[in-house]
């Protein structure tokens, strides 16, 4: 029973960070722009993001599930979320996603991985271009997200995980929990995760998901 309770706590923490957290981060960004610009579109987007945050909270309370996946398959949901990012931030997406029928739980994890990785690419990598590929292979899926951001050294990526696990400072929490959440989701779907990054050369995450184990 204790294991079940702890698992549910971790699930709620992931959903708060990856769902509600994304909308609140966008709201903060638009509020900052609104204070230095006369363009009223920032206030309009701010209102939309706050509405989405409220809706996300309702969905969290109702069942810890992204609303977009209630109406659409993963391909469409990622496309819509990409358009949302493009409407808020100066960034462009290139999508290459196979249409396929996947278990709903797997779709949720892949969707949240996409959200968190793009958020990291934007906020920490300073990227303005993102390529997303989800391809069907023999008995497995390959999922990659590549950005053109500032990139990281291997030592910095490893240090980020260590700090996220061991440090309670606000600076570490901002980016650190995202790393932990990403790795936890990869573990939950029995997948493998690789990162490729160099300073000034952007970052790519590459995930392989064995379909036979889901």
Nearest CA-CA partner of 206 in 105, 131, 120: 131
Residue 123 vs residue 9, higher pLDDT: 123
Highest average pLDDT, of 50-59, 60-69, 99-108, 200-209, comes from: 200-209
**Whole-number percent of the chain with pLDDT over 90:** 30
- List of residues 6+ apart from 142 with CB closer than 8 A: 133, 134, 135, 206, 207, 208, 209
**Whole-number percent of the chain with pLDDT over 70:** 79
User: How far is it, in rounded angstroms, from Cα 204 to Cα 27?
Assistant: 26
User: How far is it, in rounded angstroms, from Cα 49 to Cα 54?
Assistant: 9
Residue 140 vs residue 212, higher pLDDT: 140
72-214 is a CATH 3.40.50.970 domain:
no
Q: Where are the domains of the chain?
A: 1-64, 72-214
Backbone angles phi, psi at 133, to 5 degrees: -130, 130
Residue 108 vs residue 94, higher pLDDT: 94
pLDDT at 156 over 60: no
CA angle 64, 178, 85 (to 5 degrees): 75
Query: Whole-model pTM?
Result: 0.67
- Paired tokens of 200: 């000034």
Q: Give the pLDDT confidence of 1-50 residue by residue, as tens digits.
A: 556 555 666 767 777 777 777 888 888 888 888 888 878 888 888 888 88
- How would residue 172 be classed by pLDDT, with cut points 50, 70 and 90? very low
Contact between residue 170 and residue 181 where contact means Cβ atoms under 8 Å apart = no
User: How far is it, in rounded angstroms, from Cα 143 to Cα 192?
Assistant: 10
Q: Give the pLDDT confidence of 57-80 residue by residue, as tens digits.
A: 766 654 556 778 888 899 999 999
Q: What is the mean pLDDT of residues 175-192?
A: 79
Strand ordering across the sheet containing 203-210: 92-97, 129-137, 140-147, 203-210, 192-197
How distant, in Å, are the alpha carbons of 154, 175, 200 from that of 195? 9, 16, 15
Residue 161 is predicted with a pLDDT of 46
Residue 41 is predicted with a pLDDT of 85
């Amino acid at each position: 029973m204790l294991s079940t309770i702890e698992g549910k706590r971790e699930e709620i923490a992931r959903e708060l960070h990856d769902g509600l957290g994304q909308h609140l981060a966008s709201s903060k960004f638009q509020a900052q722009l609104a204070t230095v610009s006369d363009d009223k579109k920032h206030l309009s987007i701010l209102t939309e993001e706050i509405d989405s945050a409220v809706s996300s909270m309702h969905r969290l309370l109702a069942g810890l599930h992204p609303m977009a996946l209630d109406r659409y398959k993963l391909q469409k949901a990622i496309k819509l979320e990409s358009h949302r990012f493009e409407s808020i931030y100066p960034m462009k997406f290139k999508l290459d996603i196979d249409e396929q029928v996947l278990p709903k739980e797997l779709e949720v994890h892949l969707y949240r991985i996409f959200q968190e990785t793009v958020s990291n690419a934007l906020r920490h990598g300073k990227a303005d271009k993102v390529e997303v590929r989800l391809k069907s292979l023999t008995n497995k899926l390959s999922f990659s997200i590549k950005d053109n951001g500032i990139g990281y050294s291997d030592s910095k990526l490893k240090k980020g995980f260590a700090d996220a696990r061991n440090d309670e400072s606000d600076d570490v929490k901002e980016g650190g929990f995202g790393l932990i959440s990403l790795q936890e989701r990869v573990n939950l779907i029995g997948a493998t995760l690789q990162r490729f990054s160099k300073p000034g050369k952007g970052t790519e995450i590459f995930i392989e998901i064995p379909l036979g184990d889901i």
